[in-house]
Structure 1
Amino acid sequence: MVFTEFRFLFFFILIFCIYWALQKHNHRKTWLLVCSYIFYGAWDWRFLSLLLLSTVVDYFVGLMLSRPQVDSSIAGQQIQISEVVENKETKNEWINTFSWDALLNKPLNQPQRQAWLTLSLVVNLGLLGFFKYYNFFADSASELLVFLGLPVSINTLEIILPAGISFYTFQTLSYSIDAYLGKVKPIRSFWDFSLFVAFFPQLVAGPIVRASTFFPQLLTPKSLNEVDFRACLTLFLVGYFKKACISDNLSPLVDQYFTNPEIYTALSCWIAVIAFVIQVYCDFSGYSDMAIACAGLLGYKLPLNFNFPYFSSNITQLWQRWHITLFTWLRDYIYTPLIKMRPREQRTEIFRSRNILILMLVSGFWHGAAWHFVIWGGLHGIALIVHKQWSSWIAPYKQFQTLRNIIGIPLTFYWFCASATFFRVSDFSSIIQVEKSFLFFNSPGSENLNIQIGWIFIPLIIMHWAAYKSWFADWWHKIPKWSFAVFYGMLVSIILRFAAINPQPFVYFQF
């Protein structure tokens, strides 16, 4: 069920009306949970079992990690004491006195805590690894064995990738890790935790929400008067425009070029590559905008996921603004632990650079189970390392900061476009062909795409820059209600006029 489909609009209106008609906060949460499962099951109801499995496992892992921690040095004494108590009590008495509170108050030593965290990691990463990466590793292993002179073939499987598995897996893992580290207090309500995992606006493509952000909202009763309707409706319309009018309309053009790049001119290559990076941005940021807006209309706040990344003046800044919740997740749970593996005085530049490269390789591999995604991540890792070194060298020359920012924006965008081929194309011969056309203006063919489409980029850049500079910020709050209603209706009519006839699936659904 795509957000730009009319059936989703009717689905959400039904959710919204019944949600706010219910008086009790718990009833509203139950309604949202049921609707979230219906929303996810609309793709394939069989994969609800995977979602429920992750939910159950991490819920109980959280409960076990909420137990008081004891020092391993006194664990043996506690075991002896418990044995004495057990010998003094009869079996029936133990059964009668057993309760969840008694279990959760029973101390847990460090090895036991590590075992529970390991269970969460094994189950979640095991499911993700099987459904997303089994065929990749099977193919890679077969090719390696053939290269080594061992003609052994490992059979691949017809595996359907569950929608959003990469997103909700990272979300539940962050809960287990934070509970282990003591950064979040595990939640006792199974239904609240289930809603945290399955909350439908961000379930299948993010933003990736942390428990520390979402749990307090689950405990706070919502009021319709607190909902900023104008802001939410405006944000949803902006996201709808990005997805339905820009991304979906550029999709056929991009597909046309990348199906046969060898027959097109270098100018067509430039148009197609730029159209692709615009398509991906409008597709994913449009989804995030609509997800945040839908959650806001229900009284929940989701984190920002995009912050005008194409106006970044360097590659580090771009990755701080692109898919923010994923980048911060990888930073907090992969890069930071790798850095802390060594004492501060041993953290050399080479050590930090290695960890940056590992971070981006994991990011590339997260995006897809193929070598071209890994290379794409590696290229951005190298770019981040180069920029880090360059920044340290150029830091004393502060008088050139403005010039660096002006030059940095087009250079960063150029690099992002040049590397995007590895994200879009899986065939390495086609990647080389596209890169030759884009980097060296080599025209392998004489065919041209619809060159007129290039003129669309100009008004899009102007509109995006205006939004970046906040020229129209809070306009929806500054006009009367009737003016907002009329103007909003006019915008809806115009946007529907330019919306693509056939809604396209969200690009990040495949991840």
Structure 2
Amino acid sequence: MVFTEFRFILFFILIFCVYWALQKNNHRKFWLLVCSYIFYGAWDWRFLFLLLLSTVIDYFVGLMLSRPQVDYSTKGQEIQTSEAVQIPETKEGHIDLFSWDALLIKPLNQNQRQAWLAFSLAVNLGLLGFFKYYNFFTDSASNLLTFLGLPINIETIEIILPAGISFYTFQTLSYSIDAYLDKLKPIRNFWDFALFVTFFPQLVAGPIVRASDFLPQLLTPKILKEVDFRGCLILFLVGYFKKACISDNISPLVEQYFASPEIYTVLSCWIAVISFAIQLYCDFSGYSDMAIASAGLLGYKLPLNFRFPYFSTSVTQLWQRWHITLYSWLRDYIYIPLMKMRPKEQRTELFGYRNILILMLLSGLWHGAAWHFVAWGGLNGIALVVHKQWSSWIAPYKVLVPLRNMLGIPLTFHWFCASVIFFRSSDFRSAMQVGKAFVFLNSSGTQNLNVQVVWIFVPLIIVHWVAYKGWFADWQSKIPSWSFVVFYGVLVSIILRFTAITPHPFIYFQF
């Protein structure tokens, strides 16, 4: 069920009306949980069991990690725990050694806590690895052995990639890791935890939500009067426009070029690559906008996932503004732990650069089980390292800062377009063909795409720049209600006029 489909609008209206009609917070949450399972099951009901398995395992791991910790720091024979231990009793006054509470007060030592965390990591990454990477690694191993003169036939199997598995796996992992690090108190209410994992607005394509941000929101009942209806409706319409009017209309032109890039001219290459950069941004940020708006209409707040990345003045700034929730996740759970593996005095620049490359290579692999995705991540890792080194070199020369800022936006966007060729291409051969035309202006093709599409870029840049500057921010809250209703109706009519006839699936559904 895609956000731009009419059936989703009807589905959400039903959810919205019943949700706000219910009075008790627990009833509302249970209604959202049921609807979230229906939303996910509409794609393929069989993978509901996989989603439930991941939910149950990480909930149970959280319970185990909530047990008090043994402290061996005291020199005496007494074992100290992190909290007072009280054995629960039954109503008759007898000790109940078989209750959950009795189980959860038994202290854990550090090795046991690590074992529970390892169990969560093994199960979640094992499921992700099997469904997303099994064929990739078997093919790669087979090709490597053949290259070494040891031909072996490793059979691949037909595997359907569960929608959103990369997203909800990272969400549940962050819960287990934060619980292990004592950054959050594990939750006892299973239904609240299940809603955190399955909340339908962001379930299949993000933003990636942290338990520490979402679970506290479940504790307090939502108040209808506190919902910013105007802001959420405008944000949903903006996201719909990005996806249905821009991304879906550009998609056929991009597909036409990348199907046979060798037959097209250099100009067509530039048009197609820039069009894909626009398509990718509008597709994913459009989904994020609609997800944030849908959650907002229900009283929940999801994190920002994009912050005008194409106006970044450097590659570093670009990746601080693009898919923010993914790269903050990778930073907090991979990059920072890698850096902490050495004492501060031993953290050389080379060590930091190595960790940046590891981070971006994993980012590429997260996006797709293919070597051209890994290459895309590696190229951006190299760009981040080069920019970091360059910034340290020119830091003493303050006079160069204005020039750097002026040239930074076009150079950063050009680099992103050049690297995203590997993201869009189906294999290395095709990527090299397109890259040669885009970077070195060298192509033997003679056919041209529709050059008139270039004129669409101009108003898009202007509108995006106006939004970036915030010149009309919060305008919807400053006009009378009747004016907003009329204006919103006019906007809907115009947008529906430019909606693509054939809707396309969200690009990030495949990840």
TM bin, normalised by shorter chain, reads over 0.9
Deviation at 1:400, TM superposition (A): 2.6
In 1, Cα distance between equivalents of 2:270 and 2:444: 13
Please report how far the alpha carbon of residue 151 of structure 1 lies from its aligned counterpart in structure 2 after TM superposition: 1.4
SS at 2:213 equivalent: helix
TM-score, with structure 1 as normaliser: 0.96
Name which of structure 1's ranges 143-152 and 326-335 shifts more when overlaid on structure 2.
143-152
Name the amino acid aligned to 1:39. Answer: F
- Specify the alignment match of 1:187 in structure 2: 187
Q: Which residue of 1 aligns with 2:168?
A: 168
Distance of 2:35 and 2:241 partners within structure 1: 25
SS at match of 2:337: helix
Deviation at 1:72, TM superposition (A): 4.9
8 Å Cα contact 2:96/2:102 also seen in 1: no
Structure 1: unaligned runs, 5 residues or longer: 80-92
1:376, 1:419 within 8 Å by CA — same for their partners in 2?
yes
Report the number of matched residues: 499
Q: Distance in 1 between matches of 2:278 and 2:28?
A: 38
Give structure 1 regions of 4+ aligned residues with deviation exceeding 2 angstroms. 71-79, 93-98
CA distance in 2, matches of 1:73, 1:404: 54
Separation in 1, partners of 2:137, 2:441: 36
| Matching residue's letter, 1:176 | S
The 5 Å alignment of 1:25-174 reads 25-72=25-72, 96-174=96-174
Counterpart of 1:342, as a letter, is: R
**Which position in structure 2 is the counterpart of 1:493?**
493
Kept in 1, the 8 Å contact 2:97–2:103? The answer is no
Which residue in 1 is equivalent to 2:89? Answer: none
Gaps of 5+ in 2: 80-92
Q: How does 1:203-218 map to 2 (within 5 A)?
A: 203-218=203-218
2: CA distance, partners of 1:213 / 1:297: 17
CA distance in 1, matches of 2:342, 2:391: 24
Q: 1:471 to 1:141 in 2, by over 3 A?
A: same
Query: How big is the shift at 1:74?
Result: 7.9
Q: Distance in 1 between matches of 2:427 and 2:375?
A: 13
In the other structure, the counterpart of 2:478 is: 478
* Structure 1 position 233, deviation (Å): 0.2
Q: Specify the alignment match of 1:314 in structure 2.
A: 314
Q: Map 1:325-404 to 2 at 5 A.
A: 325-404=325-404
Q: Match of 2:313, SS?
A: coil
Sort the Cα spacing of 1:23 and 1:350 in 2 relative to 1 into closer, same or farther, 3 A. Answer: same
Aligned-pair identity (%): 80
Aligned twin of 1:292: 292
* Larger helix share, 1 or 2: 1
TM-score, normalised to structure 2's length? Answer: 0.96
1:268 aligned onto 2:268: yes
Rounded to whole Å, the distance in 1 between the matches of 2:214 and 2:165 is: 19
Paired residue secondary structure (2:502): coil
In the alignment, residue 409 of structure 1 is paired with which amino acid?
A: I
Change (3 A) 1:2 1:475: same
Q: Deviations over 1:278-324 (max 9, x none)?
A: 00000000000000000000000000000000000000000000000
Partner of 1:86: none
What do residues 389-417 of structure 1 show as CA deviations (whole Å, max 9, x unaligned)? 01111111223322211100000000000
CA contact (8 A) 2:2 2:8 kept: yes
**How many angstroms apart in 1 are the aligned matches of 2:389 and 2:429?**
32
Deviations 1:174-216 (A, max 9, x none): 0000000000110010000000000000000000000110011
Distance 2:305 2:428 in 1: 31
Whole-angstrom distance in 2 between the partners of 1:290 and 1:40:
17
Q: Quote the offset at 1:39 in angstroms.
A: 0.2
Alpha-carbon distance in structure 2 between the residues aligned to 1:274 and 1:97: 65
> SS at the partner of 2:214?
helix
CA positional deviation for 1:426: 2.4
- Checking the alignment, whether the CA contact within 8 Å between 1:249 and 1:500 is kept in structure 2 is yes
The residue number in structure 2 matching 1:4 is: 4
Structure 1 CA distance, aligned partners of 2:427 and 2:135?
Answer: 17
- 2:211 and 2:233 mapped to 1: Cα distance? 26
> Do the aligned residues in 1 keep the contact of 2:232 with 2:296 (CA within 8 Å)?
yes
Provide the secondary structure at the position in 2 that maps to 1:108.
coil
Q: In 2 relative to 1, CA 493–124 (structure 1 residues): closer, same or farther, beyond 3 Å?
A: same
Alpha-carbon separation, structure 2, partners of 1:136 and 1:76: 54
Q: Secondary structure at the match of 2:489?
A: helix
Structure 2 CA distance for partners of 1:95 and 1:148, relative to 1, 3 Å: farther
Cα distance change, pair 387–402 in 1 and its aligned pair in 2 (3 A): same
